[in-house]
Amino acid sequence: MRAIGLGPTPMVYYAVHELQADGGLMITGSHNPPDYNGIKMMMGKAPVFGEQIKALGALAASGDFAQGAGTLETVPVFVRYVDRLLRDFTGAPMAVAWDPGNGAAGDAVTALVKRLPGRHIVINADIDGRFPNHHPDPTVEENLEQLKQVVIREGMDLGLAFDGDGDRIGAVDRTGHVVWGDQILLILARHLLKEHKGATIIADVKASQVFFDGVVQAGGKAEMWKTGHSLIKSRMAETGAPLAGEMSGHIFYKDRFYGHDDGLYAAIRFLNAISAQGGDLARLRQEMPHVLNTPELRFPCAEDRKIPVIEGVRDRLSQSGAQVIDVDGVRVLTEDGWWLLRASNTQDVLVARVEARDEAGLTRLKDLLRGQLKQAGIEPPADL
């Protein structure tokens, strides 16, 4: 056993590769509330998830495994990890505000910015699992308010935020507007496709159609896949895709990296991409096609009902001739845009999202989704 010390989850992924370990364990509650904790696991270079975790639990319960004494060795990798993050930086000097949200990436962010050109401000760098300033989830806009204020007050080019264990990234531009996970991924994809023409870029089923269309326009192949960082990593390995991402801010680089999600490495490549595309994140965001969409809507549904509800919606729509993508739940395409209904991988909830070209289309799509929920015996959430 090798102990590598306090740091973000991606530091464990890095250590498994660099130390040629047989596996890795990260003690983390990620962005969950402070009273949560858990273990992220790797076997070899691959994530352990789903049925593998169930099998491991059954094995532990059976007691049918070898026992004996091992050894514990402390192997500091923090400095080497930061060195590795910086190795691929090619960007211009910029003014950047950074917010690790009092999460595990605080020390790494502080070390990183000391070696980057430009002007940098770091807030909430002290690692504190009570999260005294805000919850460290960069997909929730209210958690970015402090960062927005710093960016605008100090005249920064952009702000970057990270979740509790440092494997996800969020961003705001110089005007204080949020740049969402699929928008970050599109900016990264356009940069990468300059060098890897025709490459496949993977995004999860919650991503905007703007992303998928944008990848194709930039000369790439866009693939829609199931939500879940372990599922995305596995799909990357199957397809050889050099880049993938999720709405949640997980960004995965196989190009010049290891294929896992690392918020800080994504930040380095994001700064490179912004620099190479004119240096103004606000302009890059503003130039994307304008669409209207809801935030991710989550509402309770019993564990034993989640899948039957989704299957019922899928079957009704397929029989009606609707255009349905069922890679993960039900994503329904219409002339107005699309709507999504899927079962959460980790909670007893259904997840919905709606995107349209205009307000009238958004209303029509919401009505369609509400109608399907009512047919399934589910009361639509008040914010739908």
C-alpha pair distances (Å), 144 with each of 72, 192, 202: 40, 27, 26
Q: Alpha-carbon distance 228 to 344, whole Å?
A: 9
30 is catalytic: yes
Enter the tokens of residue 373.
Answer: 């929920």
Q: Which residues of 172-184 are buried (b: 16+ CB within 10 A; e: fewer)?
A: bbbebbbbbbbbb
Q: Is 76 helix (H, G, I), strand (E, B) or coil?
A: coil
Q: Alpha-carbon distance 273 to 291, whole Å?
A: 23
Q: What are phi and psi of 214, to 5 degrees?
A: -65, -40
Maximum alpha-carbon separation in the chain: 67
Q: Is 300 helix (H, G, I), strand (E, B) or coil?
A: strand
Three-state secondary structure of 85-134: HHHCCCCCCEEEEEECCCCCCHHHHHHHHCCCCEEEEECCCCCCCCCCCC
Q: Alpha-carbon distance 352 to 383, whole Å?
A: 11
Please identify which of the residues 30, 208, 234, 248 carries the catalytic annotation: 30
Q: Which helix (H) or strand (E) holds 84?
A: helix 78-87
Beta-ladder partners of 331: 325, 340
Active-site positions read 30
